[in-house]
Structure 1
């Protein structure tokens, strides 16, 4: 697609590109895979008879869903063999994403991990229905199921997600305040300050992809997590610094060691305490935190 191309197919694709990327990312949890899906979507869209398309947005969403569903089925097998916990690829997001509660909640690390427990078809149906408010008939065409079957899948997926999703979304300001308390505690290595900001049942998950050193299993409990942070910082051969940022629509920290980018630490906040910590160190997942990703639900 050259910058000079202004044909109707190109204009339609570019007009809806942010939406299509958001659909693909929410289905896959990977910006790199979402970008690949968009390339596949463009190739199929460019070969479509535009005169036969009544609703270009709906048609593009349908192509994107089908391509994302095919890719999700393939990567599911790879993720089962992943070294250590698999975490979604973090996205740097603009401030307005955090203000859009519906969008921010739909792409939070905590919810994205819940979506990983769904089957590929359940995830596609849930994302299209609950996040993008797509009609059941349209979803049925996208996932190649009957409308009645899609309604059943949507009900099952909704019940599954509601049983596991965070209890209450916090405001961006509350999230930033809790994260700042955690940041000060980490940088000072104060165990008690860490315990004060961590929920008793907090879970730490870290993703190094077998390339960077991380815990190969989730660490559960405020005491264990506090000791890991306090002890780990003391053993570092270098200077650790953190920078606040908005990642996946929520407050997070960009972590550097001796000035070199080391990873992204996202958090889940409930009842003014951190109940989930998600540290992504896998270098292959850190390419989309240099600039804000274009995201939209419409």
Structure 2
């Protein structure tokens, strides 16, 4: 392995993490990593003073261009759009998915909110708030002044609103609440289901036009509890929940008749479930399902 390849592999996790956070798709992220690799090989013989900065800059600029195209196509996406969920492998071994988690936790809910931003604003927000680059570094990557980058991040936060800042809780609290939620929804206990939800809870679902899902965000504890209660009646005795790590945070996989039906992410506030993301699109579950089956 030559020095150029070793350098690229050293920073590959960071490049892939940026690409996934920007694009919301592991397949698109892997394509972008390959594009960065090809460009790196073309310039590898030239003197690059700071390889990491070069690679992050290349990845970010390619991701901005790719996201512009994706956002145009997502305007015609059937129903609500949610990112592809990333499954943690639950072991000490480092998989590409683990690399993504190490590079900063961005929940599925926050990634969905990031769709509100322009590609440049999304890049500025992620590089600053998730990857913790300073404004001078941002300026070099985005081709703007540090003051301009600061303003871009500020506007991104304003566009995301309070929703992006709510929902933090310790992992142990997440796991306790999710275990209670799984028990209540499997049993069809309407009262406990509703009690676990915040009064202003919201639920988004993504079926990709391939399977049924909610066409608009569902809001309010009672309406969401009714949905889970109805599912419990529909799938009585056929439903199984599995606790997992999704996008670096505790989540649940729902199985019906032993088949993966959805991957569900949760955010919490004050001991209640605040937001739920239900990914049902088979195309976005395929990689996760393969990873789950590989566990045996």
TM over 0.5: yes
Unaligned runs of 5+ in 1: 1-5, 293-298
1:114 is matched with 113
Unaligned runs of 5+ in 2: 93-97
How big is the shift at 1:227?
1.0
Contact 2:253–2:263 under 8 Å retained in 1 = yes
How big is the shift at 1:151?
2.5
Match of 2:70 among 70, 75, 79: 75
- Residue-pair matches, total: 283
State how 1:65-214 maps to structure 2 within 5 Å: 65-93=60-88, 103-104=104-105, 107-161=106-160, 163-214=162-213
Contact 2:88–2:246 under 8 Å retained in 1 = yes
1:254 is matched with 253
Deviations 1:5-51 (A, max 9, x none): x1122111111111111111111222221111111111111111444
1:16 is matched with 11
1:264 is matched with 263
In structure 2, distance between residues paired with 1:166 and 1:45: 36
> What value does the CA root-mean-square deviation take over the aligned residues?
2.1
1:276 is matched with 275
How big is the shift at 1:217?
1.1
How big is the shift at 1:243?
0.5
Q: TM-score, normalised by structure 1?
A: 0.88
Q: Secondary structure at the match of 1:16?
A: helix
How big is the shift at 1:141?
3.2
Match of 1:41 among 32, 36, 41: 36
Contact 1:183–1:242 under 8 Å retained in 2 = yes
In structure 1, distance between residues paired with 2:262 and 2:174: 19
In structure 1, distance between residues paired with 2:215 and 2:46: 53
Contact 1:108–1:248 under 8 Å retained in 2 = yes
Contact 1:255–1:261 under 8 Å retained in 2 = yes
Q: TM-score, normalised by structure 2?
A: 0.89
Deviations 1:220-247 (A, max 9, x none): 1111111111112312387121100010
Mean CA deviation greater in 56-65 or 46-55: 46-55
Large movers: runs of 4+ above 6 Å: none
Mean CA deviation greater in 45-54 or 183-192: 45-54
Contact 2:103–2:131 under 8 Å retained in 1 = no
1:244/1:204 Cα in 2 relative to 1: closer, same or farther (>3 Å)? same
2:95 is matched with none
In structure 1, distance between residues paired with 2:190 and 2:251: 20
